[in-house]
Amino acid sequence: MRGGVLISGLLHVALVVIAIVGLPAPSLAPVDVAQPIPIEIVEIDEFTRITREPEPEAQPAPPEPEPEPEPQDAPEPEPEPQPEPEPVSEPEPAPAPKPTPAPAPEPEPAPAPEPEPVPAPEPEPAPEPEPEPEEKVNVAPPAPPAPRLRPTPPKPVVQERKPAFDPGRIAALLDKLPEERKPAPQRPQPAPETPQQPRIGAQTSLTISELDAIRQQISQCWSPPVGATNAADLVVTMLIWLNPDGSLARPPQVKGGPLVPSSYQRAAQDAALRAVRRCAPYRLPVEKYSSWREIELTFDPSRMFGG
């Protein structure tokens, strides 16, 4: 039993060794292997084209060389024409001198405006003064607020307003108008601007109606200062000189008065000056020019408003 197992084991080991190593083979003679010959299949038409030599292509004949041009003699250069002399331009005639323009006449200097005195500032507020229009000669006076023939006092209203001017209470305006006034020889009077004065015969005096007309005309332009305590100190006496057409011949002048007026007195003088300038020209009869060519006016606020 034991011997059979041993034999079986040896046989298995021998089989494994044979499988790995291999059985020895007998030596064989070497076999000559023929080299492979490549064979190409060519068609007949291709074969004939290959065996036939290609005919040489006919080459074009080389072009004949162009004959060289014969050298020509160079043409002689033409002589350059000499430049023609430039024509001498005749000198242009000198331009005739322009006529010298006559000098323009110098404008006459405008007359210097009359300086108006500037009112001194008042301590108490005063109503705004009306704008003073420019002085113009022969300008119609402004339309009066009240009828000229019979001015009636304004009706009482709720608001306080200034009393209306009453022609019956303005006798202070022409307080010192003389009945007959002759030209003063000692005071030189400027010649009136009109080219010719009307002829005046015997001197005549102004009638009461003419005096009232002057008072009424000036009262419409006079605005006395408001707020003065003593009206007696505000009386202003003024001299005016008139032309035959009623316009001012020279600036009016204040007559008398204090050397150093107060602010109220200065305001009263300015109000009188504005009234005289604003109401010009005055409507007065020309035939009585010798009587009203120089007038003395007195502006009294106390008599104007019944103070």
Q: Which residues of the chain have pLDDT under 50?
A: 133, 135-137, 139, 143-147, 149, 151, 160, 162-163, 165, 167-168, 176-204, 305-307
Nearest in space to 279 (alpha carbons), one of 206, 219, 210, 212: 219
pLDDT of residue 257: 74
| Number of domains present in the structure of the chain | 1
Q: What tens digit of pLDDT does each residue of 15-47 get?
A: 888 888 766 655 555 667 677 787 777 677 776
Domain coverage including residue 242: 171-183+203-304
The verdict on residue 229 lying in a domain is yes
The verdict on residue 240 lying in a domain is yes
The verdict on residue 55 lying in a domain is no
Q: What tens digit of pLDDT does each residue of 215-241 get?
A: 888 888 888 777 656 666 788 888 999
CATH number of the domain at 213, please: 3.30.1150
Tokens 């000559």 correspond to: 32
The verdict on residue 300 lying in a domain is yes
Specify burial of residue 90 (Cβ count, 10 A radius: 0-12, 13-18, 19+): exposed
Q: How far is CA 162 from CA 225, 247, 266, 304, in A?
A: 11, 29, 21, 12
Q: What is the DSSP string of 146-204?
A: S-SSSPPPPPP-SS--PPPP-GGG-TTTTTT--SS-PPPTTS--PPPSSSSPPP--S--
pLDDT of residue 87: 56
